[in-house]
Amino acid sequence: MNKIATIFICFIFSTIQFFAAVDTISVSDEMNERFIGSRVSVFTDSTGSMSVLDVLDKSFTENTTSVVSFDPSQNAQWIKFNLKNELNSSEVIIEVDYPILDYIALYEETDGKVRMIGKKGEEFSFDQRGNEYPSFLFKVNIPKGETKTYFIRAKSGEVINLPVFVGGNDDMMSTLTTRSLIYGIYAGVMLVMFFYNFFIYLTTRIRSYLYYVLYIAMVGLVQATLNGYTFRLFWPDSPEVAQHSLFVINALTALFSIIFFFEFVSIKRISKPLYYIVIGSGSIYLIELVLVFSGNFNDAYSVMNIAALLLALSMLISAIYAAFKKSRTAIYFSIAWGFFLTSVIIFVLKDSGVLEYNLFTANVLEYGSGLETIMLAFGLADYINVLRKQNEIAQKEALEVSKENERLIKRQNIVLEQKVQERTKELSLTNSELNEALDELKEAQTQLVEQEKMASLGQLTAGIAHEINNPINFVTANINPLKRDIEDIIEVFEKYQSIKNGDDFELKIDEINELIEELEVDYLKDEINSLLRGIDEGARRTAEIVRGLKVFSRAEEQDIKKVDLLEGLESTITLLNSTIKNEVEVERDFENIPKVECYAGKINQVFMNILSNAVQAVKEDKSRSEPGKIRLKSYSKDEDVYIQFIDNGPGIDQEVINKVFEPFFTTKPVGEGTGLGLSITRSIIQKHNGEIKVENNKDRGVTFTIKLPKYQVTDDK
């Protein structure tokens, strides 16, 4: 009973295997169909790692479409078919016409033994294909009349299409030559359009032609990539570039198609919402690029297809909408885009098995993109013609307007000449009056400047007189007491001289001692020393004032000299001592600074103007609780020297601070100032190629900052 059951099960299994067996394909010179897609069986390896030995006993499913097609995935796809050789030659060619597969391998099974015929794809260099044709060609040896089983394993990051052809060497070479000729014609058309329109761009400099040329280049590169020519011609030894090229070139094609579409159709002017929809659709390509450069080719391919669909539809809808808005360029674009989309639809239907696989359907994308390119060229030509007509109309209108303007100008010239003559007389009279007024102003300005100088000189003279008078008075006051003390000393000295030989020496000495006690000679010595020190101090102080005055009033100010600015500043402080007195504390914060090339006398005048103003402001400020203080600071930076005058006076109103250097501007009561001091100060600093600025301090008071270059640029330097 068990034997019967076993025999029955074996019979059922054999029957199933018989009906599941792959159809045997006869290869002969007379075969009508060399395309065998509908006569193979398929198997999907979901692990992606099975070897040919692993799939030998797997159940293959019969394929019903003309092209074996699989969606992008990590799976490995297998197809199986039997070939019987009825050719006169034992050499049979198996071709897979899908050049962008990442990996494809052919295995041959003979008498239960399996061997690899070859492996190819974009994972390997182009040289491994063994021929110059972009498609995958495998030569197998089948003795005449015998049958062999073949397995094809394919993996790819993109969609997997396996259009499989078989035939003899001569027939296959004829097919390949025809296919290459068709692509060569297409490439020639695209190159002609590229260079022709590029020449037009160089001639006209119209941006639309530049964007069109770039778009043509990208469309041509996409088709060259799909047909395997970019891998063969541009990067045959760079498999990684080949695997990324389709994605990158597609993204660039989308970019330039959008740029050309915007320039050609001007959709932003017609409809901003559609403009942003097109931009949004094209932005999806950024996701595709991120995915592909992170190695996720399957998802990148899916995103690329979605982006292409959305972008194509959004541009077509936008073009149709613009066409209804009377845009001539949009009509051409709609027709051209329609050609291309129609070719895409036919190509997809061919891959789905709805349409037959033949030379037309296999190359329909080239036909569609070629027609699109030609139609867009017609559109550009029409666009240029429209622009030319508009330009001619505009030039004609401009010429008429120009002639009318010329007539108006001639009439106006006559009237203007009369008015010019009248105005010339009036202007001559006015000019004469203005010259007189200008001379008077110059004279007044000269007088005011001299007045300011005299006022400063008077202030300086009064200060010097007061400063010199004090030590001189000290000297004169000490002379009379000193004279009396010296007379007393002389009297004692004469007593000593009056001693003669024979006199009572002891008696004379006693008289002298009594005189010494009476005159208090010890006190006289101390008093004389004190009086001499006072006279010495007065003389020293007088010499110091004279030396400061000499430094301040440099006689050689007509020449630029290297000057110690701190010495000039000290002389200014010395001359202002009578004004400063004990009411203002002058604090010195001096760094060692180099000598500066300048007009010494004029720089000292600057110091005098700023310092005297600061002293006056601090002394007149009654709202201050702390003692009055002026801080003088010096430092150098790079090629410049800085002097700062920092006081704790009342400060300057913000509305006034920008006017302090203007001529004749003053906040003093009438009669107390000309308003020229700071104006002259600024002109002196500017003459030295320096800068002066004033700013209020954070707490109170102001800071004047003078910046002077170390060296002056003159004609002899």
Residue 237 in this model has a pLDDT that exceeds 80:
yes
| Among 476-485, 489-498, 527-536, the range of highest mean pLDDT | 489-498
Instruction: Tell me the pLDDT tens digit for each residue of 333-376.
Output: 888 878 878 877 887 676 555 677 676 776 777 777 788 788 87
Instruction: Tell me the pLDDT tens digit for each residue of 262-296.
Output: 887 888 888 889 999 989 988 998 998 999 898 88
Residue 215 in this model has a pLDDT that exceeds 80:
yes
Q: What is the pLDDT of residue 33?
A: 64
- Higher pLDDT, residue 600 or 519: 600
Mean pLDDT of the chain: 79
Residue 46 in this model has a pLDDT that exceeds 70:
yes
- Higher pLDDT, residue 21 or 526: 526
Q: Are 278 and 315 in contact (CB under 8 A)?
A: yes
Residue 667 in this model has a pLDDT that exceeds 70:
no
pLDDT band at 3 (very low <50, low <70, confident <90, very high): very low
Residue 443 in this model has a pLDDT that exceeds 80:
no
Q: What is the pLDDT of residue 706?
A: 92
Residues in the chain: 717
Share of the chain above pLDDT 70, in %: 81
Q: What is the pLDDT of residue 596?
A: 92
**What SS3 state is found at 643?**
strand
Structure-derived torsion over alpha carbons of residues 434, 437, 443, 446, reported in degrees to the nearest 10: -70
Q: What is the pLDDT of residue 180?
A: 85
Residue 321 in this model has a pLDDT that exceeds 80:
yes
Matching residue, tokens 């010499």: 543
- Higher pLDDT, residue 109 or 3: 109
Q: Collect all residues with Cβ–Cβ distance below 8 Å to 537 and sequence separation of at least 6.
A: 471, 474
Residue 122 in this model has a pLDDT that exceeds 70:
yes
- Higher pLDDT, residue 415 or 538: 415
Nearest to 244 by CA among 300, 311, 303: 300
Q: Collect all residues with Cβ–Cβ distance below 8 Å to 137 and sequence separation of at least 6.
A: 93, 94, 95, 129, 130, 131, 172
Q: What is the pLDDT of residue 545?
A: 64
Residue 450 in this model has a pLDDT that exceeds 60:
no
Q: Are 373 and 190 in contact (CB under 8 A)?
A: yes
What average pLDDT does this structure show over 471-499?
71
Burial category of 219 from C-beta neighbours within 10 Å (exposed 0-12, middle 13-18, buried 19 and up): buried
Mean pLDDT check: name the lowest of 157-161, 189-193, 452-456.
452-456
Residue 13 in this model has a pLDDT that exceeds 50:
no
> E-strand spans in 530-663?
561-563, 584-590, 596-598, 628-637, 640-647
Residue 463 in this model has a pLDDT that exceeds 70:
no
Q: What is the pLDDT of residue 674?
A: 59
Q: What is the pLDDT of residue 43?
A: 94
Q: What percentage of the chain's residues is helix, strand, coil (to nearest 5)?
A: 60, 15, 25
C-alpha distance from residue 325 to each of 269, 272, 385, 633 (Å): 11, 14, 20, 76
What average pLDDT does this structure show over 528-534?
69
- Higher pLDDT, residue 405 or 704: 704
pLDDT band at 680 (very low <50, low <70, confident <90, very high): confident
pLDDT band at 644 (very low <50, low <70, confident <90, very high): very high
Q: What is the pLDDT of residue 565?
A: 87
Residue 456 in this model has a pLDDT that exceeds 70:
no
Look at the pTM and tell me if it is higher than 0.75. no
Matching residue, tokens 């025999």: 7
Tokens of 340: 């291309």
pLDDT band at 490 (very low <50, low <70, confident <90, very high): confident
Q: How far is CA 109 from the centre of its chain?
A: 64
**Greatest CA separation found in the chain?**
189
pLDDT band at 22 (very low <50, low <70, confident <90, very high): low
Share of the chain above pLDDT 90, in %: 11
**Cα–Cα dist 576/534, whole Å:** 23
- Higher pLDDT, residue 644 or 353: 644
Q: Are 78 and 164 in contact (CB under 8 A)?
A: no
Q: What is the pLDDT of residue 690?
A: 92
Residue 89 in this model has a pLDDT that exceeds 80:
yes
**Cα–Cα dist 698/202, whole Å:** 64
Q: Are 528 and 536 in contact (CB under 8 A)?
A: no
- Higher pLDDT, residue 371 or 14: 371
